[in-house]
Amino acid sequence: MPGPPPGPGVVPPFAAPPTEGGRVRLWLGLGVGALALLICCGGGGAAAIGLVVSNVQAVEEQGKSVTDSYYRALVEREFGKAYDKLCDDAQRRESRADFAQRVADEPAVAAYRVGEVDPTALTVPVDVTLSGGGRETQQVTLAADQQTGGMEVCGVS
């Protein structure tokens, strides 16, 4: 007598389908995916850190450069050049002629030494020697130019 006909209720010849290493493939796939995610996110994080570091270095270099140019112009008594290093806000507060007159009336800057730029506060200390022999430390406030993105002197205290 032959067995029951195939159809509903037929018992398969095995208890569960064969896995053929399915778990190994699953874990291998998850591992590769995690590695890819780590590379992508790690690379993006490294790029972001690199961007911040290079931006800070650019601010420091530009801040020192514009401060040096400003004080060099004061030492050489080229007040127009010094005025050109001022930010737009400072130039709105004081005309070129008023700036030149005010600076000419103050004790002349004989020598100076630019300190390290504080990139968070955008300030630079400058050790100044005046023509009468007096010495003082002046604090230069910097600001970014809206058109060029370069640094400008926005105040001296």
Token pair 């994080």 is found at 45
* Contacts (Cβ under 8 Å, ≥6 apart) of 82: 70, 73, 74, 99, 103
* Total Cβ atoms within 10 A of residue 99: 18
Distance CA 135, CA 107 (A): 11
Q: Which domains does the chain have, with CATH numbers?
A: 32-156 (3.10.450)
Distance CA 124, CA 53 (A): 19
The answer to whether 78 and 96 are in contact (CB under 8 A) is: no
Across the chain, what does the average pLDDT equal?
A: 85
**If pLDDT is split at 50, 70 and 90, which confidence band does 114 have?**
very high
Distance CA 114, CA 126 (A): 5
**If pLDDT is split at 50, 70 and 90, which confidence band does 127 have?**
very high
- pTM here? 0.69
pLDDT tens digits, one per residue of 14-36: 666 655 666 777 778 888 888 88
